[in-house]
Structure 1
Amino acid sequence: MVLLKRRKKDINMKYDYLVVGSGLYGAIFAHEANKRGKKVLVIDKRPNIAGNIYTEEVEGINVHKYGAHIFHTNNKEVWQYITQFAEFNRFTNSPVANYKGELYSLPFNMYTFNKMWGVVTPEEAAAKIEEQRQEIKGEPKNLEEQAISLVGRDIYEKLIKGYTEKQWGRPCNELPSFIIKRLPVRLTFDNNYFNALYQGIPMGGYTKMVENMLEGIEVRLNTDYLENKEELDSLADKVVYTGPIDAYFNYKLGTLEYRSVRFETEVLDKPNFQGNAAVNYTDA
């Protein structure tokens, strides 16, 4: 959510733009404004730039502190733009699901269906899914019914139910159906999660990429905009706010439910822990 606030121009104002938040949107906006000759101040309440795509080096590994981010797009113009700030590797997201020690390929594809049911051809897989989805009559009323109508009961129970309930903190039959409407289901052996022509992760990490975007721009860290709003507003003609929208309005309508996870980090003295970059543990 991005909020642009215009203020009446004051001759004492030092900046054209105050950008609140140094994540991807804030950094790109600041870069483009600066390129056009605008005076920009970027602030962030965290002790680091890059927002939720911040990466830090641990034991020679660029760790995504706030969860893994894989850049992907079908837009050639977007790809050419972002690669001016960093060289990208050729990482392809091919997750694995672990259900009580049973391993399945994600997104759901012929490898998944073969492991689940022993089917070999796309026709057999489609017939099995069609057979199982018949239990849902009419328009799906919740996430559980939506998932079953897409991939059947077996896959729902083993690969969707427990994982989803852990992530959202509530039963699947209490979650809206639209959350899972775009679930990828493929009758091929393609386990590339994204249908994107361009994808990868910046070599050197996202933080370095954002540093390159903010080159030549004043940045102040450990600066809480909402705690110092009046003072900071007075510095610029326009404010671009990229923080939580409920906080901006002082939670007048309550707190928004943000989908979130808790991170627990361990450093293991072994060269390869699980054989794949992303493994979803799907049992409850």
Structure 2
Amino acid sequence: MKKYDYVLVGAGLYSGVIAYLAGQAGKSCLVLERRDHTGGNIYCEEIEGIHVHKYGAHIFHTSNKEVWQFVNSLAEFNRYTNSPIANYKGEIYNMPFNMNTFSKMWGIRTPEEAKTIIEEQRKAVPGEPKNLEEQAIKLVGKDIYEKLVKGYTEKQWGRDCSELPSFIIKRLPVRFTYDNNYFNDLYQGIPIGGYNVLTERLFEKADVQTGVDFLEDKEKYLAMGETVIYTGAIDAFYDYALGKLEYRTVRFETEVLDTDNYQGVAVVNYTDRETPYTRVIEHKHFEFGTQKKTVISREYSTDWKEGMEPYYPVNDARNQELYQKYAALAEKEEKVIFGGRLGEYKYYDMDKVIEAALNQWEKMQR
């Protein structure tokens, strides 16, 4: 049996960064991936000449110069700027909440007018917010909450905002400028040619096996590596011995349309409760596509069950407490390092995953 310096479980960004750095350092890597492709959730599928973000919209943004330089050394990025819009029962509003949003909602023009209205509406929650509904009203006022927060959030979490804990919404970005750029980060864009360009570079020196479930033959694969980097679900690694962590998942309905431009923007959030999907992605706009047809994906947020792809950790007290118990077990592992979204049971933006993997690599070299 061949012995590798590193066995990497999962072929997402976290594993990819370590596989790339290990390859540069002349180390051998075996990558085991359950799906039939590398790239994890940033994988793109080509349909009608369009790079379709198979697992939902991924827009790279960061203020970390080291991370930006790292990804740009592997792929060239375009100048895409995320400026989604919200559709509330046919009314269109700009996101994030900014002067364009307020002007449309209240027929006003100045930041002073907007601040006055929001301040007045926030008074509806005088004390400490007891749930997400009160927290959101306290942050942005009743009008914005009712039209742009409530329905979307309830679809995302599958329950009423009055039943959700307030800490889920610690802040809602409010800008008193006419600026539709969703992110405040210094750098932003999408790899030209889609994310597969980036992930192919990350794994180019590794031995990659797809369609392989590490957990089905755990002992064999553990024996194959000096060090094992595990990016699967931490509770699954321990065979759910302490109980199961909860997730939300996303289901996609993707279709090809015989038009060159369906919605005029890459991302439209549907913020009323009645529309069953949370948003519609039109993929060609990520790369300023001019193809004759277009591809759209409707996103439905739903409860996770085994066999589904876990997306978002359910960050309530019960799950955090359970994760801490698994993390304590993981700490005792001598040759296994847990990383990434599922290995650390946390929601990670792409740049933060890369940053964590770069830091982990550095730590391993000491």
User: How does the TM-score come out when normalised to structure 2?
Assistant: 0.73
Structure 2 residue matching 1:262: 3-state secondary structure: strand
Distance 2:77 2:148 in 1: 31
- Alignment partners' CA distance in 2, 1:196 and 1:236: 38
Are 1:41 and 2:36 matched, yes or no?
Answer: no
- The residue that corresponds to 2:142 in the other structure is 153
1:260 correspondence with 2:268: no
By percentage of residues, which structure has more strand? 2
1:23 and 2:12 equivalent? yes
Q: 111, 132, 140: which is aligned to 1:122? A: 111
Aligned partner of 2:57: which letter?
Answer: A
1:191-230 mapped onto 2 (5 Å cutoff): 191-230=180-219
Match of residue 270 from structure 1: 259
Q: Secondary structure at the match of 1:87?
A: coil
Counterpart Cα distance in 1 of 2:224 and 2:247 = 31
Q: Decide whether the 8 Å contact of 2:6 with 2:225 is kept in 1.
A: yes
> Aligned residues, how many?
273
Runs of 5+ unmatched residues, structure 1: 1-11
2:123 equivalent among 134, 148, 158: 134
1:54-90 deviations in Å (ceiling 9; x for gaps): 1110111100111111110011111111111111111
Q: Is the 8 A contact 1:167 1:260 kept in 2?
A: no
Aligned to 2:350: none
Match of 2:175 among 169, 186, 191: 186
AA aligned to 2:66 is E
Deviations 1:227-284 (A, max 9, x none): 1111111111111000112211222233222232211111110011111110001101
Instruction: Describe the superposition over 1:128-170 as per-residue Cα deviations: whole angstroms up to 9, x where unpaired.
Output: 0000000112221221111101111111111111111111111
Once residues 115 and 26 of structure 1 are traced to their aligned partners in structure 2, the CA distance between those partners, rounded to angstroms, is: 45
Q: Tell me, what secondary structure is at the counterpart of 2:7? A: strand
| Seq. identity, % | 65
Which of the residues 238, 241, 252 maps onto 2:230? 241
1:81 aligns with 2:58: no
AA matched with 1:47: D
Q: Who is 1:8 aligned against? A: none
Is 1:95 the counterpart of 2:84? The answer is yes
Q: Which residue is 1:9 aligned to?
A: none
TM-superposed CA distance for 1:37, in Å, is 2.1
Kept after mapping to 2: 8 A contact 1:54/1:206:
yes
Within 1, Cα distance between the matches of 2:172 and 2:232?
29
Equivalent position amino acid for 2:198 in 1: M
- Any idea what the Cα deviations from partners look like across 1:187-245, whole Å, max 9, x if unmatched? 11011000011001111111221101111211111110111111111111111000112
CA distance in 1, matches of 2:236, 2:58: 24
Moved over 3 A (4+): none
Q: Deviations over 1:84-116 (max 9, x none)?
A: 111111110001000000000000000111111
Residue 13 of structure 1: how far off its partner (Å)? 5.9
What corresponds to 2:270 in structure 1? 281
CA distance in 2 between partners of 1:259 and 1:188 (Å): 34
Tell me the C-alpha RMSD between the 2 structures: 1.1
SS of the counterpart of 1:260? Answer: strand
Highest RCO, 1 vs 2 (Cα 8 Å, sep ≥ 6): 1
Judge which range, 28-37 or 96-105, deviates more.
28-37
| Matching residue within 166, 182, 189 for 2:155 | 166
Greater Rg over alpha carbons, structure: 1
Q: State the match for 2:304 in structure 1.
A: none
**2: CA distance, partners of 1:117 / 1:150:** 17
